[in-house]
A = this chain, B = another copy of it.
Amino acid sequence: MRRTAFFISDSTGITAETLGQSLLAQFENIEFDKVVMPFVDNEEKARRAVDRINDAADRDGAAPIIFDTIVNQEIRAIIGASRGELLDIFSTFLSPLERALGTKSSFTVGRGYSGTRELQYQKRISAVNYALENDDGARINRYGQAEIILVGVSRSGKTPTCLYMAMQHGIFAANYPLTEEDLDHGGIPRPLLPYRSKLYGLTIEPERLAAIRNERRANSSYASMSRCEDEVRMAESLFSRHGIPFIDVTHSSVEELSAKILAETGMREHIR
């Protein structure tokens, strides 16, 4: 069975897409053709969207599903007159919210929203720049600015995790790669000593590490199973010995890793 789903917004469409994807994932037996339509912000674009929705209805022989976060009422009315099944995200929740909060929303009075996320925007971009500049122990003299320092062996996923924390949450995340010397020595590496409370370890299953390293340098001793096993064992033992919390990245996405690390450290419990 095949159905078409539209994510339509007069802005970026991130909310419609995030929620819509989560909901559609609950229907594992249906294959969806998913169409993203951001910035549907005038009547002409809305009418073109309606054409596409009706075309999909003909093709599928069933009503397309529409997830929308359109604020403008006229535009929403046009989409609503299509042959799709409209799940109107904002209005569905705004009535109960208005009741609970005892006040009208700016949506109901016809204004768009300003997006509190903007407030955080400069911090997020600064955090991305910080992550790039402090990647792989490049500038250990700036660890003082870090909110968290991820520690792990080469290719254990430090960089993407730092970047995600920065981009999504505005966290200043640096990272430090454990070298063979660090692992042999077994103590907290000297540049990290002043920042023990900021350290968070990443570990990974040796098989997965070897696979990742092989993509980079095939058949090198760097990518060999025995070397990967040794490094992972020594890194985990270093973390344990010095009370550095750590997490296994093998079966988690960067979203999950970030959320878990931030939840455990309590760094992002209260947000703006």
Q: Is A138 an interface residue (CB 8 A)?
A: no
B160 touches A113 (CB 8 A): no
Instruction: Return chain B residues, CB-CB under 8 Å to A193.
Output: none
Residue pair A19, B89 in contact (C-beta under 8 Å): yes
* B259–A114 touching, CB < 8 Å: no
Copies of chain A in the complex: 2
A122-141 contacts to B (CB < 8 Å)? 125, 128-129, 132
A19-B18, A259-B12 given; A103·B272 CB < 8 A: no
Residues of B within 8 A of A93 (CB): 19, 23, 87, 92
A19 → B minimal CB distance (Å): 5
Of listed A27, A101, A103, A167, residue having the most chain B CB within 10 A: A101
Which residues in A have some Cβ–Cβ distance to B below 8 Å? 3, 11-15, 17-19, 21-30, 33-39, 63, 65, 69, 85, 87, 89-90, 92-94, 96-97, 100-101, 103, 105-107, 113-118, 121, 125, 128-129, 132, 159-160, 163-164, 167, 253-256, 259-260, 263, 268-272
